[in-house]
Structure 1
Amino acid sequence: MSKMYFKDIIVAKDGMIKGPFGSDIKKSLFVPKGKNTYKVYEQGVVYNSDVNYGNYYITEQYYHEKMERFKVKAGDILITGAGTLGELFIMPQSFEPGIINQALIRIRLNESKIDKQFFKYYFFYYIKTIVCNINGDSVIPNLPPLSVIKETEINIPDLIEQRKIANILNNIDEKISNNDKIALKLEKIICSIFNFWFYQFQFPDSSNLSYKYNGGKMYWNEELEINIPIGWTVDNLSSIINVTMGSSPKGDSINVEKNGIIFYQGKTDFGVRYPYIRAYSSKPVRYAEAGDVLLSVRAPVGALNCAYSKCCIGRGIAALNYKYHSYLYYLMLENRFQFDKYNKEGTTFGSINRDTLKSLKIINPPENIIKKFEEKVEGMDNQIRNYYDENLCLEETKKFLLPLLMNRKVTFKDQQ
């Protein structure tokens, strides 16, 4: 293990830099995307692991006059420096030319001393957890000054061992990613079934034939200006659900030591179907029950997950409760377009309140059809849950291995 300072593993000039002052990158400077514009990369890129997120741009002239220092390159590491702290994203090979905004930190590594993939794990193990004391609370103060982080003493193995460590942890992450991909495919299949039954009106009739194809009776609905099946209505979402708006517990109750109940703050905790467990609260304020649909009500509005078990929900989440869990989840997926207007283009400050949420319009079928749908998709939904169970075990394995690998309590046997 080599002792050095954090500043030694980054490039000499601007190896670690915070985005420009807010006054230098205010909204009045933004312009529509054009041939010679530069994108302003914001926190949503990191939260969503999506380089295409956001729609803020500055002119080429302003970029060269004042912002060139903050440009991003392929391989740059972007870290959130406010809000949900310490999230990390590595810029891909292909993206629009641009700069970081004031809420991001850009890191460029000295790759003769540290492997980029190893750094990703080392950052979460040491810098984020130990130096910054980040425990999952998204409302704690900002990161320590960059000067403090740069002067922090670190211990890292040589490059060969770094790559071996990164390879082991990457293999676990790849398995988790593959499970997520399969779960997402299953979800898309169920979405297709839901759309076929409840929006194309081809649910099975009393003869087990597709209702509309088999001449099922329809009537003109004035509110939607379409024909819908006899016996179906158009109602507010409140006609079938109970809504619990989240409320963040006190910061000193939030921990990673499993003290209390699982705590989810917002969309950044969301996975394919179920959230990732990152924190707990010993003093929960609002709860979601197992099977409730978790809806992001802030930044961005409309992202969805399900509660795996009873949990504490923060102010970025609303819990929607209905006795038919699968039906409600896919109903909300199908109606996500209704949330688009609450996400103003390029911003992370959209939100929706309880009354507005409850007033969303839905097509409401008879209960016996909802029951049939639940039975139809139960097997696939159980498979999705099984993949999540496996991913929980894999995440625990990774957490167990990480300190052992970093502290060389697990070593690698040289091949003969």
Structure 2
Amino acid sequence: MTIYKLGEIATVEISGVDKKIKDGEIPVKLCNFVDVYYNWAITSDLEQKFMEATARTNEIERFKLKRGQVALTKDSETRFDIGIATYIADDFDNVILGYHNALITPNPKKLSGKYLNALLHTDYARTYFANNASGSGQRYALSIDALNNFPVPLLPLAEQERIGDIFSSIDQKIALNRAINDNLEAMAKQLYDYWFVQFDFPNEEGKPYKSSGGKMVWNDKLKREIPDGWSAKSIFDEMSVQYGFPFSTDDFTEEVTNIPVVRIRDILDNTISAYSHEETDDKYRLNEADLLIGMDGNFHMNYWIDNIAYLNQRSVRLRSKQNSNVSIVQARYDIEPYIKAKEQRAKGSTVGHLSDKDLKELKVMVCPNRRMRDALDSLLYRIIANRKENLCLTKQRDELLPLLMNGQVSVNYHLSDN
């Protein structure tokens, strides 16, 4: 296996295209830092999600996305967020790469973009980027020299293509699960809006309750009308609420132990970034479908997906009680506007905080119909199952990568078989 510098087998360019819309420039769609960061591949179905911007003709020529290229995050507030790559899987007419990213165009006679994308996701690449990042404190960046000098172990082109196809197939399944979950979450939100905002849940005759003249009564706690027979209660009445355990950061380790710790940073991605040897009570252990809320900075909210992790301090978990008709999905949508409003009000301060007092002021609606909880729970468990499968696929992908790269595992099919 021959080692080449990336700049010898590809063209690397740093994008400076910003997010502004300027008079006299050409309208474009912009593939931004977050699009690169969160997608293994950029496909045509993502185009509708890209933001609108404008660019000059020469910027469009240089940074228009083409199949076979690789985009990479170039600078960020932390070392961990730079050097994250994505493969450009389709040709785009009107999508260009935004700033804080680099665009890599491989020499097609020597380097496969799919292979390069897979290589850039290995610990080998992550270590190189961490060691070659410039800056400290506020921002870290990869220079054009650091990118051009990245050492690429070059396999025969056919072998590169086979390796790239394997990981593209895995990513297609991950992307499909994400798309299914987007639809499931949209369905859950739509049901919530029909039933708990418009109050047009099915009445005894199967007709929409409020639209069909269902009786509405004033509720002093919510300062609004709700259906007759419904009530409003504190989340502490209808949910099991537990604050996280004050784990000592001195005891955190990357070594896998029987105490995986969930910190605020882990909530959105359902990941674990630290382990501990510290003993703690089982009441801090999380369950599948718990709702987690970060209480510092950005008040992240998300459903958890396993039964083995423990919650760290400055986060809180809400868990549905068996005897309650309030689904954890309903509870989330009931309280989310108040959490988000608190987050916005805190933007001007150094760090925003959610307090015990804030949480005790949160209310949820309680309806007498258990079937409404069951319907929302059913959607949630399908979402969680897909998330768990994606984490498993990601783990398999990350473990398989180095084995393929160093030849411990071989690829035994031909491209013509696909």
Moved more, 30-39 or 257-266: 30-39
1:280 aligns with 2:271: no
Of 267, 292, 295 in structure 2, the residue corresponding to residue 294 of structure 1 is 292
Q: 1:54 to 1:386 in 2, by over 3 A?
A: closer
Contact 1:302 1:339 in 2 (8 A): no
Secondary structure of the 2:166 match is: helix
Distance 1:55 1:115 in 2: 28
Q: Aligned in 2, Cα 1:192/1:338: closer, same or farther, shift over 3 Å?
A: same
Q: Which amino acid aligns with 1:88?
A: A
Name the CA distance, whole Å, in 2 between partners of 1:118 and 1:305: 34
- Partner of 1:110 in structure 2? 106
Deviation at 1:122, TM superposition (A): 0.4
**In the alignment, what sits opposite 2:373?**
374
Residue identity opposite 1:155 in structure 2: P
Within 5 A, what are the aligned runs for 1:15-414?
A: 15=12, 17=14, 36=25, 43-49=33-39, 72-74=63-65, 75=69, 77-82=71-76, 83=78, 84-86=80-82, 87-89=84-86, 93=92, 99-100=98-99, 104-112=100-108, 113-132=110-129, 142=140, 147-148=145-146, 150-203=148-201, 211-212=209-210, 215-220=213-218, 226-233=224-231, 242=241, 244=243, 250=249, 253=252, 255=254, 258-259=256-257, 261-263=259-261, 270=268, 275=270, 277=271, 279-282=273-276, 289-290=286-287, 291-295=289-293, 304-311=302-309, 318-324=315-321, 327-333=327-333, 336=336, 352-355=352-355, 358=359, 364-366=365-367, 368-369=368-369, 371-413=370-412
Q: Which consecutive residues of structure 2, in runs of 5 or more, have no partner in the other structure?
A: 40-45, 132-136
State which drifts further: 330-339 or 79-88.
330-339
Please state how far the C-alpha of 1:131 moved relative to its aligned partner.
Answer: 2.2
Aligned with 2:8: secondary structure? helix
**SS at structure 1 position matched to 2:81:** coil
Structure 1 residues 377 and 340, CA, compared in 2 at 3 Å: closer, same or farther?
closer
The root-mean-square deviation of aligned C-alpha atoms, in Å, is 5.0
Question: Match for 2:182: what amino acid?
Answer: L
Moved more, 159-168 or 221-230: 221-230
CA separation of 1:265 and 1:107: change in aligned 2, threshold 3 A: farther
How far did 1:295 drift? 4.1
With normalisation by structure 1, the TM-score equals 0.68
Q: C-alpha displacement at 1:149, in angstroms?
A: 5.4
User: Which residue identity lines up with residue 5 of structure 1 in the other structure?
Assistant: K
Partners of 2:86 and 2:247 lie apart in 1 by 26
Letter in 2 for 1:410: V
Q: CA deviation at 1:265?
A: 5.4
In the TM superposition, what whole-angstrom CA distance separates every residue of 1:333-387 from its partner, at most 9, and x where no partner exists? 466556666788xx9x997531496377655224x43x43332344443333333
| Number of residue pairs aligned between Structure 1 and Structure 2 | 382
Measured after TM superposition, the shift of residue 116 of structure 1 is 1.6
How much has 1:123 moved relative to structure 2?
A: 0.3
Q: Does the aligned pair in 1 maintain the 2:403–2:409 contact within 8 Å? A: yes
Say whether the 8 Å CA contact 1:205–1:211 is kept in structure 2. yes
* Residue 321 (structure 1) shift: 0.9
Structure 2 counterpart of 1:2: 2
Identity %: 17
C-alpha contact 1:234 1:363 (8 A) present in aligned 2: yes
DSSP-derived class of the 1:108 partner: strand
Kindly state the Cα deviation for residue 124 of structure 1 after the two structures are TM-superposed. 0.9
Distance 1:385 1:307, change over 3 A: closer
Asked if structure 2 preserves the Cα contact closer than 8 Å seen for 1:237 and 1:361, the reply is: yes
Give the Cα–Cα distance (whole angstroms) in 1 for the partners of residues 47 and 296 of structure 2.
Answer: 20
Contact 1:132 1:143 in 2 (8 A): no
Structure 1 counterpart SS, 2:214: coil
For 1:394, the aligned partner's letter is L
Tell me how far 1:189 sits from its aligned partner.
2.9
* Displacement after TM superposition at 1:309 (Å): 3.1
What is the distance in 1 between the residues matched to 2:125 and 2:267?
16
**Residues 170, 397 of structure 2: 8 Å contact kept:** yes
Q: Following TM superposition, by how much is the alpha carbon of 1:167 offset from its aligned partner in structure 2, in angstroms?
A: 0.5
* TM-score of the pair, normalised by structure 2: 0.68
Q: Structure 1's 214 and 54: CA in aligned 2 closer, same or farther, altered over 3 A?
A: closer
Query: Structure 1 72/284 Cα, relative in aligned 2: closer, same or farther at 3 Å?
Result: farther
